[in-house]
Amino acid sequence: MAAVTGSLYCAGGATVTVAAVDHLDRSPTGLALLAIGLVGLATGVGCLRWGRLLGRGVYHLLVAAGTVLIAAASLLAPDPATATALAGLMVFVTLDSFFYFAGVGAVLQLLGALTAGAGVLLVRPDVPVSVALALVLVCVAVAVVVGDLVRRASSAGRDPLTGLANRRRFDEAVEALLLATARSGDPLSAALLDIDHFKAVNDAHGHGAGDDLLRLVATRWGPALPAGAVLARHGGDEFSLLLPDSTGPVALALVEQLRHACPEVGLSCGVTQLQPGETASQLMRRADRALYQAKAAGRGRSVLDDSGPDPLAAELATALAGDPVASGLAVHYQGIVTVADGAVVGVEALVRWSHPRLGAVSPGRFVPMAEDSGLIGALGAHVLRTACRDLAALHARAGRRLLLTVNVSGHQLCDPAFPDLVTAALTDAGWPAGSTVLEVTENLLEAESPVAVATLERMRAQGLSVAIDDFGTGYSSLARLDTLPADFLKLDDSFVSALTTSTRRARLMRSIMALSDALGLQLVAEGVETQEQADLLRTLGCLYAQGFHFHRPAPIGDVEALLCGASAQTSTGPPLRQ
């Protein structure tokens, strides 16, 4: 808002100043026009420099003041041509009004601009009535077009249930504010707010009650936020908040006000302040860590994380640089099975960390930490080399060649050395490229990084396959499946978990299966946790699945026992194509 309003003021002020200079020695109103132009320029510069500190109400005053300045300049213009040109600046007022204001506020600003602009032209005897009418029509047309474009753009970045920003708009706002704070040096804080026991509300009163609760907190919080704050529904019952020009303690105090604004709702909140050199993912990771601490401490509270980067990063770096196995890093494997009979046809390699002092460290903590700290390449290389050796040895002992899938991050795909690393790992272990699948997330492919996509194409040319992991959690990959460099589609567990409770989700599942089959993609349903889900997938005709219902991640020895023991089965379903 500050950038647009300031830029329009500068453009308008410059236009009036040029007109004034042209008439200084020919008209007694030249000096008055020059003063109006300079006031406009000064106001524009002030908006660009300090406008982000102003509230929305002040911008209503600034737009109204612009209307007055334009009308005065048009009235003082020495000739009809100049008067008409200056009155045309009312288009700027219309644009600013409908770009940032909505409803009655925007309409009132438009009426003010039309009344002032057309009125000034009508009181001048040297300007035809048709010119004033033309100005009115142009401003109305601009208002209609800009208003419609803003409405469409807003709906694309809005959560339809609460009207707040959605995850995509929030991510864009984070990146924009990081750039702004890097230039200005101003503080920036972020918070994650989670409704306590939200699932219990849905279970006890239905999803309608849960939706009403989400709308309630969104309505209560909106008026309490300062100018420039970005509030979004982050997903499910979690909200995210960005607070520019706010330190961590100030943000914590504001979040506490938001908690008390909804006394009938239990809320757990995590707050953190941006540290120098931090990325967006690091900032939100620490907010998430603070939220976890709030929940672990009993919920219904706010926690400020001002500790900076995770201290475990240094220990992980030491472990990877020395002996990863001795430091507790291990690779476990979760079976991929044929739904028809549960026989194992492939495994996904998953890293686990049994810390010597802390015990089991969640992959949800240390894997993102590895990405943020630049260690993901070394961690991924360890997992790939270990998995290739383990599967090659398993094949030699048990006579079964399973399909091996390994997760790959965007950082790895953008590393020029990654293709050679993969080739070396396969060669050293004697494991075939044709039995190896690189799993990448849907959002990574949505980003369409040219380097990452080119790396995947190169890997496929060498015989490896590519799987889209967590499908169903991104933005729009469904319409682009035929263009992505992929061979497998792994359906996200959040999608599978709703199959047995939503008939619409089951119908959508059939459509995705038909689409993947038509595109030559093999579908694997992830996160199958119950017999009911497995039975429904079997009824729908899904061929492959993985999840705790079939197998939990386990060391390679357990996988070998499964294949070689009495419980091992020979699959009656079609093998995964390799």
pLDDT tens, per residue, the chain with 578 residues? 778 888 888 888 898 888 888 777 666 777 888 898 899 899 888 888 887 777 767 888 888 888 899 989 888 888 888 888 888 888 888 888 877 777 788 888 889 888 888 888 888 888 888 888 988 899 889 888 887 777 776 666 778 888 888 888 898 899 889 988 888 888 999 999 999 888 788 878 888 888 899 999 999 998 889 988 999 988 788 899 999 999 999 999 999 999 888 888 889 999 999 987 778 888 888 888 888 888 878 888 999 987 655 667 778 888 888 899 999 999 999 999 999 988 999 999 999 999 888 888 888 888 888 876 778 899 999 999 999 999 999 999 988 899 999 999 888 888 889 999 999 999 999 999 999 999 987 655 544 467 788 888 999 999 999 998 877 655 445 556 666 788 999 988 877 877 877 778 788 888 888 888 888 889 999 999 999 999 999 998 899 999 999 999 999 999 998 887 634 444 444 556 55
Please return the burial class of 489, using the count of CB atoms within 10 Å of its CB with bins 0-12, 13-18 and 19+: buried
Q: Taking the CB of residue 25, how many other CB atoms lie within 10 A of it?
A: 7
Instruction: Report pLDDT for 566.
Output: 38
b/e per residue 26-46 (b: at least 16 CB within 10 A):
ebebbeebbbbbebbbebbee
What's 167-305's CATH class? alpha beta
Question: What are the CB-based long-range contacts (under 8 Å, 24+) for 118-121?
Answer: 118/87, 119/71, 120/71, 120/74, 120/75, 120/83, 120/87, 121/74, 121/83, 121/84, 121/87
Right CATH for 312-564 from 3.30.70.260, 3.20.20.450, 3.10.129.10, 3.30.565.60: 3.20.20.450
Cα 291 to chain centroid distance, Å, stands at: 18
pLDDT digits (tens, 9 = 90+) for 255-283: 999 988 888 888 999 999 998 777 888 88
For residue 439, give the 3-state DSSP assignment.
Answer: strand
**Does residue 499 contact residue 509 with C-beta atoms inside 8 Å?**
yes
Is there a contact between 337 and 562 (Cβ–Cβ < 8 Å)? no
Q: Per DSSP, what are the bridge partners of residue 190?
A: 242, 272
Q: Domain ranges for the chain, please list them.
A: 2-156, 167-305, 312-564
| Alpha carbon distance 351, 19 (integer Å) | 70
